[in-house]
Chain A
Amino acid sequence: MSEDMSRRCFLKSGLLVLAVAITPGALVLMNVSPGAAAPATPFRPHAFVELDADGSVTVWVGQTDLGQGTHTGMAMIIADEMDADWNRVRVRTALAAEPFKDPEWGMQATGGSTSIRHRWDMLRKAGAAARLMLVQAAARQWGVDPAACTTAAGQVRHPDGRSLGYGELAARAAALRVPADPLLKNPADYAVIGTLRRRLDMEDKVQGRTAFGFDFRVPGMCTAVLAHPPRFGARPLSVDADAARQVRGVLDVIPVGDAVAVCAESTWSALQGRDALKINWSEGSHPNLNDEAVNAELLAKLDGPAAVAEDAGNAAEALFAAATVVESVYAVPYVAHAQLEPTNCTAHVEKDRCRIWAPTQGQTAAQDEGVRLCGLPPEKVEVMTTPCGGGFGRRGEIEVVTEAVTLSKALRRPVKVVWTRGDEFAHDVFRPASICRIRGGLDGDGSLVAWSHRLVASSIMSRLWPSAVQNGLDPTSVEGVEGMPYSVPNRRIEYAIPDLPIPVGWLRSVGNSYNCFTVESFVDELAHAAGKDPVEFRLGLMEKDSRSHRTLSLLAEKAGWGGPVPAGRGRGVAVTQCFGSSVAQMAEVSVDGRTGVITVHRVVCAVDCGPAVYPDAIVAQMEGGVVMGLSIALHERVKFAKGGVATSGFSQYRLLGMKEAPAVEVFIAESRHPVGGIGEPGLPPIAPAVANAVFAVTGVRLRELPFSRDALKTAVA
């Protein structure tokens, strides 16, 4: 588990502790070992790397591991540059603190597949600096030139063959200055990066020892479950809590914002107490909202004013002059995160201190909320990130922090707030629904000359960071259309925000999750209209030898594209470039004409994510992205009725089951590119790859998610 480093590192001696301070415009590595010179900055940093006298290495991280294997990957980078003995490396989660803020974002958060790609240099430097200091300490002890010493597996070797373990050198190294620019390894010398390692959290997870936020306990704690408004904008008009208070174990019933909390000695008591509440809710802001109304509003915005995201050449003229024009409308629904560990947070507010334990992806946001609610300075608000049962963007939200801190303040004791599955669906911040109309123009040779794209989707930034929305344009809503890997001389991308009260938020790959479906399906429609092979057509639109070109070529080779396809099956491909990586996927499917059921038999995936730090985690993220993307493509749709969310549980929201999951063959490209993200880019291509494969085998073009069995049944029959 985790501990407060600031206390620890000043209590122990004989160990080397390196920290990172983020100063405006620079990252500064520093030695905060006990006895070493005090750092020259006003920060009181938490450590990054800690080498104990017994030779064990602790890597302290501020990033959230939601299952991506990030913690192990980060430790692997430091260990490799340090030449540490991997068997003596462990990783620990630190309290939220300045040094763990994202060097590019200036806040501590996990999202955008950035944990490693924003820290690649920093982590390598931290490891390399520690190594150099240990070499210097050994060289001094031996009276030899440091350059003559070598390191491997936690030891410094003397030219004559003698060696000293890192642990023996820790105290001496701790007295040295941190080199500002330690020499980094030649990638050919990596011994840990790029290898298969046991994930550091694997044993605990398999033995059931990992305590997630939902499992967190602190002495004196009570558990709270809240009745949240059943409709958008609704408030409790009256609350009859008599029956709830009668439930055995219920301690109190307390309003929190527009919700009503039942606090109890146990989770079951709190749940029963909530069921016993009688609340008269106001009708809310949009009492007539339902699926039809949502759809009508999205459709209405397909025409009329819009923001222009991109305007190159003259798409309107080029379409007018084109030999062939293809036009299609695509639609995708709202999608829920459905991470299996529901939202939760434990808080303990005392006079001079607020402690927050949460499975959070937004440490700085959680800390800020504690500051706001308690009126304490940031250093008195401690945010401890617990292990997370998935997240996918959901855990960047802080409403549950507000609830837990508010309740702990009111009750003067630690309170754990847990959400139920019903709360999770009713109050998610959904992946936006979107409708788009695309027009593409081909010239007489079948070359793509024009692309005109109008898309409608609720804006995430308008809720979270309004200043990022300029002239009605939320850049995250159009990502994947803007930045598609194809060069088209005449392009126009327009975007309109619908007037809907449904909250939207980050969900694994964000705009790419729906824009890749529409763009990559439409590229297939264009290839068909041009009479060209879908892979050839795509490659022809890409800059030769570009990252996407190479990734798609690798996919085609590994999948045996163009080779024989088993009878009754079809193949489709799709490509994405996002989060600093490029991914191409091929799906091989069959369709049962009687039932309309699509079976995905095989998925092949090629990924270029720069240096492959932790290949098994890359494979796992590609597999996971394919499964989640396929689940979204085949099953998922959040429904709305009577002014609120109608979907209330997994009985109405099916996730992809084991028997529907295809085998996924993953190929990692030899890359010449900088390190990229892996958590998100595996998701976008699978839906269009499947749709394109369905078209190949049935001639039916699927333009709506989730894919409709009825439409396929009718069309195939």
Chain B
Amino acid sequence: MISLKVNGTVHEVDADPGTPLLWVLRDNLGLTSVKYGCGEGMCGVCTVLVDGRAERSCVTTVESVQGSEILTIEGLPADHPVKAAWTELQVPQCGYCQTGMMLQAVDVLTARPDLPDGEMAAAMDSVACRCGSHPRVIPAMRQAAGKMKEEKP
């Protein structure tokens, strides 16, 4: 039995310790907002927050995150500034990459909210989007950053 704390709730799951977190979240816990895109750490659509940092769940074993706080998009408040900005600027096209994209953005904005555009884009570079939502991501992050600052003066 592996004990996982996801979105504030502790779950006991029957999985081999080496199982990627991605499949446990999806298949065992039904959290299908965490997407499969490549399974080898290359596309970022499986991104979740582990103790606040963006990690690729497809290359993270469940064993390695026992005792950590895991956050998926369901656990991010519905009115979180990143979600609000994504909605207002209509960033998603198909949306498949966007849950990972938003969680990556939360990590970047929490750790380094004042990055210049170029560096912010570089920090988002590892999440792939085939639909080409790119031109809206940095503007949405700027908007979210402003609100996050207001909320946490």
Contact = CB atoms under 8 A, between A and B. Distances in A.
Interface in A357-406: 387-392
Contacts of A388: 94
A625 B132 contact: yes
B134 A656 contact: yes
A98 interface: no
Contacts of B130: 337-340, 390, 392, 628, 655
Nearest to B16: A248
B142 interface: no
Contact of A67 (B30, B42, B92, B122): B92
Q: What secondary structure prevails in chain B residues at the interface with A?
A: loop
Contacts of B72: 208
Interface stretch (A232-240, A514-522, A539-547, A657-665): A657-665
Contacts of B129: 340, 627, 655
Contact of A649 (B23, B27, B42, B99): B42
A341 interface: yes
Interface stretch (A133-141, A198-206, A691-699): A198-206
Interface size, A (range): 35 or more
Contacts of B19: 268
A624 interface: yes
Given A202-B90, A205-B98, A340-B43, A658 B36 contact: no
Contacts of B37: 340-342, 421
Interface residues of B, number: 55
A650 B128 contact: yes
Contact of A215 (B24, B32, B78, B136): B32
A661 B93 contact: no
Contacts of A651: 40, 42
Contacts, number: 172
Interface string A477-505: 00000000000000000000000000000
B85 to A, nearest CB: 10
A568 B26 CA distance: 50
A208 B73 contact: yes
B57 interface: no
A209 B78 CA distance: 11
Nearest to B96: A389
A708 interface: no
A624 B27 contact: no
Interface in B117-139: 118, 121-122, 124-138
A507 to B, nearest CB: 11
A210 interface: yes
Contacts of B24: 268
Contacts of B66: none
A68 B93 contact: yes
A266 interface: yes
A266 B30 CA distance: 12
A473 B122 CA distance: 46
B2 interface: no
A467 interface: no
Contact of A340 (B16, B28, B35, B136): B35
A421 B128 contact: no
Interface string A183-226: 00000000000000011011101111111101101000001000
Given A202-B87, A620-B93, A649-B42, A208 B74 contact: yes
Nearest to A391: B94
A314 interface: no
Contact of B131 (A201, A266, A624): A624
Top 7 A-B pairs, shortest CB-CB distance? A389-B96, A208-B33, A627-B132, A67-B94, A624-B132, A205-B95, A67-B93
6 contacts: A67-B94, A201-B95, A206-B92, A620-B136, A623-B132, A656-B134
Given A207-B78, A340-B37, 11 more contacts: A66-B94, A248-B16, A338-B130, A340-B94, A341-B96, A387-B94, A390-B130, A655-B130, A656-B134, A657-B126, A661-B121
